[in-house]
Structure 1
């Protein structure tokens, strides 16, 4: 089993910071919000996007999938009672010359082997598509 460690601390009433390895991420923990940091819901979506891109980076060489770039667009809907992310829609845009069947194969790998993808999909309605950059 793999294990992960992140430490976070409050800076002041307007924000916090998380540390992992040699990296630092500013967090929006201000009750009024902050435009220059990710709030917890946005961090969840960013983690999901990172998982998708990392999954593509892992699968592409095994599938011999030609890839020039990837963009992930996410939209999350928050339910109020109880508070939770109820729906997340995504679009993964791949810059590739591969055919539609190969793009769907790559998408299947992202859905099947992503740690964060599988964790989030067990807790919220997660749906989306992978398309060729047009």
Structure 2
């Protein structure tokens, strides 16, 4: 598989990434730090998207139903060299389904996620999945 995106920025302004029919605006200036995502946050967003896409994928393969999935991701950045060092996630799956096997789902997400595997090859990744039956 091959992927493509195109990004641009202008001096002393923000930037955007174009992917298919979507445009994602992100901050590159101190003035945008409080209201636009920065590149590190976009990176964590991609990690989150990978996991959520795999929840949907494995709900079909593992034969379980869910109403909503939510993920929160925290990261620790090192300064020298600047890089992500630790990533921790908490995935909540709202489901009444007794067929939801959390351990197998976690194993599959961590084995077959493209972004997940790319990230875990360069930094520590830990996480927890919780089934919420409310």
User: TM-score when scaled to structure 2?
Assistant: 0.92
For structure 2, which runs of at least 5 residues remain unmatched after alignment?
Answer: none
Correspondence list, 1:48-63, <5 A: 48-63=47-62
Task: Structure 1: state its 5+ residue gaps.
Answer: none
1:23-71 per-residue CA deviation (whole Å, 9 max, x = no partner) reads 0000111156522221111011000000000011111111101211100
Deviates more, 1:99-108 or 1:54-63: 99-108
Question: What is the Cα-based RMSD across aligned positions, in Å?
Answer: 1.7
- The residue correspondences of 1:15-34 to structure 2 (distance < 5 A) are 15-31=14-30, 33-34=32-33
Aligned mates of 1:14, 1:77 — CA distance in 2:
27
In the comparison of the two structures, how many residue pairs are matched? Answer: 133
Deviates more, 1:18-27 or 1:102-111: 102-111
Aligned to 1:47: 46
- TM-score of the aligned structures, taking structure 1 as reference length: 0.92
Q: Determine if contact 2:68/2:93 at 8 Å carries over to the other structure.
A: yes
Query: How far apart, CA to CA, are the structure 2 residues paired with 1:123 and 1:33?
Result: 29
- Tell me, in whole angstroms, the C-alpha distance in 2 between the residues paired with 1:48 and 1:119: 10
* Equivalence for 1:89: 88
Provide Cα deviations, 1:61-112, integer angstroms capped at 9, x if missing partner: 1110121110000001100001000000000000012459711111111111
